[in-house]
Structure 1
């Protein structure tokens, strides 16, 4: 009996949360489903991980503007590999995947929306198009209840949208030795109070609010440091902003790191200042590392963090409240340890990667059968 074949359709396989999830789905389900990946843009650095496991990655290097021919190219890849299902991650891949499904009606379409690029109002163009796309046979998914509401506001039928929360591999809990080692590698003093974040340096992450909040923390806690892991178009602006508020010597911009998760033990607190989120993998990874998390109450974050129990939630775009929460954690190691332990347990029970992957496997089996 032949294995069902699935083509994953993504923007690229660069080092982002959605991209890492696609790699996890492909590798963990490889023995049950034959996998291939179509990237609308470049293949990205994670493509090598799949190629090493014998999973084909095709990159289209699309040009700017709406390119309906991409749907035809996806359909041709699906035909060549004998795909039963195409799984589209994020909105643009879904639009082009829908064209492919119209060209090859035997294809079953799976769509997962992972997040929004802003906290602005629903797109009028999407509100016009989505009621039509939402009628195509297949399976629609959101990574959080909050994101499902955004999809409904943009014209998708609520009754068709199932929720599959993102998941991470909890891994071993970092030890004190891991903390010392991570700090030595980053030249961070043992007695420093370290606030860390891992993010794409993009407006949706609103890192100016985090830097502004950290300036308040630094004024009251001179041994504090802020470590920013990640890269993006806003890096130069953020470095200048840190200089302008007088804390550039206490802020480390490490750039994109393949070993970002290994840096987490160096932190005392993990911070997220986004104005929009689906379900952040880096928040889940920080929780799995036993870190207390302070995060903005946006998107699916409140479905991950129980305020005051597994982390602290603050309003978005409100640096003063973010600073207050960080200062409270800086003053009490017991408070930090209590939140971090509860966060770790929550990931193990509710957000384990195996649970998420198995739920998608059930969807594939149902559609292929």
Structure 2
């Protein structure tokens, strides 16, 4: 098939990584694939360049930008897609506008998050207006599908679920060797227990609650360090939070990294403190590394982390509960190890890229039931 993916950009993030992996797999399967970015190409575009997969940028400006719409239409006209696969709301209604009258056989949108924290406004109004030209809307978890239908954003008949998947072959289990390497890199004392998280430093991930929880953990276990991988607009705010909590010396901000898989292998425990989440790629990667997990019970997290089986679930924005769960796994190392093993087994069965690509392939031919 000729497939066009339409995104805002390919900067580093969970959505963007999922798109890159899916596009790469579709290319491997012999489909003719291109990616159109509404704004800039983004830092990950080079990975597709290396495979010969076209990545185009429309360089959209603020407000209604007819030139950007024209560029997008030109890229689609040249590619003659049978399938238009858009990602999230803004990219979707812009792509639907740009492709009007082109006769594309199947138009699919994936909503990568929950969206429940955002007030319904112009963005969702425009998204709903684009539903007439949309064949299917994919939620990445059942919780997100129910929410989108309940709020009247997506008609139930057009809503389905395709969970995200990852390339499992690229992940090695956490090991003492990698732990020691990370300990040396951060100049930590031998034997330090490393609590890690991966994600953009923004309101949705709520790393402030994690830092406040870590203060309680560190008071009980001074042999601990907190590692935050990722960057974002709250970097300085979170640094100030660590200082205010008195743990700045034990909280390490590693920024945007291209060696996340290796860093994960050095963690003792993975924590996700989000207040809203779709189907977290970071959690899938933690499972693939065999890490015990503490996560907030929001969005699709409970569809990945099974409480008391592969990790612990706690309420969002509850630092004491987060601290208690972390300390519980630090004190019970055998239990934590069993959670990690179970997490790896679960992701092998349910979280692979191949399983995700197969479901999308069925959806591209209009098979809603098989896709879900």
Is the structural similarity TM-score above 0.5? yes
- How far apart, in 1, do the equivalents of 2:66 and 2:277 lie? 28
- How far apart, in 2, do the equivalents of 1:210 and 1:192 lie? 18
Cα deviation digits, residues 85-144 of structure 1 (max 9, x gap):
2110111111112213323233531100001466245x0445644544223242221101
* Higher alpha-carbon deviation: 25-34 or 182-191: 182-191
Kept in 1, the 8 Å contact 2:202–2:232? The answer is yes
TM-superposed CA distance for 1:256, in Å, is 0.5
- How far apart, in 1, do the equivalents of 2:334 and 2:351 lie? 25
1:110 to 108, 111, 116: 108
* Higher alpha-carbon deviation: 170-179 or 306-315: 170-179
- How far apart, in 1, do the equivalents of 2:71 and 2:105 lie? 14
TM-superposed CA distance for 1:245, in Å, is 1.0
Give the match for residue 61 of structure 1.
Answer: 59
Cα deviation digits, residues 241-276 of structure 1 (max 9, x gap):
100111000100011101012101211110111111
Give the match for residue 17 of structure 1.
Answer: 14
Give the match for residue 250 of structure 1.
Answer: 250
Give the match for residue 227 of structure 1.
Answer: 227
| RMSD of aligned alpha carbons | 1.8
Give the match for residue 317 of structure 1.
Answer: 317
Kept in 1, the 8 Å contact 2:292–2:337? The answer is yes
- How far apart, in 2, do the equivalents of 1:124 and 1:81 lie? 33
Give the match for residue 161 of structure 1.
Answer: 159
Counterparts of 1:108-187 in structure 2, within 5 Å, are 108-116=106-114, 119-121=117-119, 123-125=120-122, 128-152=125-149, 153-171=151-169, 172-187=172-187
Counterparts of 1:191-340 in structure 2, within 5 Å, are 191-340=191-340
* Higher alpha-carbon deviation: 304-313 or 103-112: 103-112
Cα deviation digits, residues 211-269 of structure 1 (max 9, x gap):
00000101111111100011111001100110011100010001110101210121111
Cα deviation digits, residues 143-165 of structure 1 (max 9, x gap):
01111123221421012111000
Mark the runs of 5 or more structure 2 residues left unpaired by the alignment: 368-372
- How far apart, in 1, do the equivalents of 2:215 and 2:174 lie? 28
Give the match for residue 350 of structure 1.
Answer: 350
- How far apart, in 1, do the equivalents of 2:66 and 2:218 lie? 51
TM-superposed CA distance for 1:76, in Å, is 1.8
Tell me the TM-score normalised to structure 2 length. Answer: 0.92
- Residue-pair matches, total: 363
Q: 1:187 to 1:11 in 2, by over 3 A?
A: same
Give the match for residue 79 of structure 1.
Answer: 77
Kept in 2, the 8 Å contact 1:75–1:103? The answer is no
Tell me the TM-score normalised to structure 1 length. Answer: 0.93
Kept in 2, the 8 Å contact 1:197–1:270? The answer is yes
Kept in 2, the 8 Å contact 1:127–1:155? The answer is yes
Cα deviation digits, residues 37-64 of structure 1 (max 9, x gap):
1111111111111011111111112112
2:278 match: secondary structure = coil
2:166 match: secondary structure = coil
Q: 1:214 to 1:80 in 2, by over 3 A?
A: same
